[in-house]
Amino acid sequence: SVGGQVAGVFILRNFIEDIPKELFESAQLDGAGHLQQIRHIILPLSASIISVTCIMDFLGSWNNTILPLLLLRDDQLLTIPVGLFRLDGEYVKQYGQLMAGYAISSVPLLIIFLFSMKFFVKGLSAGAVKG
């Protein structure tokens, strides 16, 4: 979604602005160009915040309900949130099937979080402490 991209750009911009300028100046004195500065300074320092923005963007895409609900008419092509939305009946609730669907749909999110938890916690704590 557009809002998620704007938030990601804003978060990354603010994080990169907080990197000390002396690092870039010393890299420039050593002969590093702009791309080398990005590769050797910005990317290693901002790995945690990049993983946080990736998680946020993935969650926004994963939970997107409105666009697939409007565009997809074939039941075989439905995304998981839309399928769960349609499974939720108006008068009769099938709680067993709904809870099983919610549990299964949370597995990819848990896997992504487990693999990037180290970066996620590091990114959260990096924004909390100024030093």
What does the pLDDT look like over 26-48, one tens digit per residue?
A: 889 888 899 998 898 888 888 88
Residues 28-53 as b or e (16 or more Cβ within 10 Å = b): eeeebeeeebeeebbeebbebbbbbb
What does the pLDDT look like over 70-126, one tens digit per residue? 888 888 888 888 888 888 777 778 888 889 988 998 898 888 888 877 776 776 665
Query: Do the Cβ atoms of 55 and 112 come closer than 8 Å?
Result: yes
For residue 7, what are its two tokens?
Answer: 């938030």
pTM of the predicted model as reported, rounded to 2 decimal places:
0.68
Q: How far apart are CA 13 and CA 73, in angstroms?
A: 39
Q: How far apart are CA 87 and CA 38, in angstroms?
A: 47
What secondary structure letter does DSSP report for 18?
Answer: T
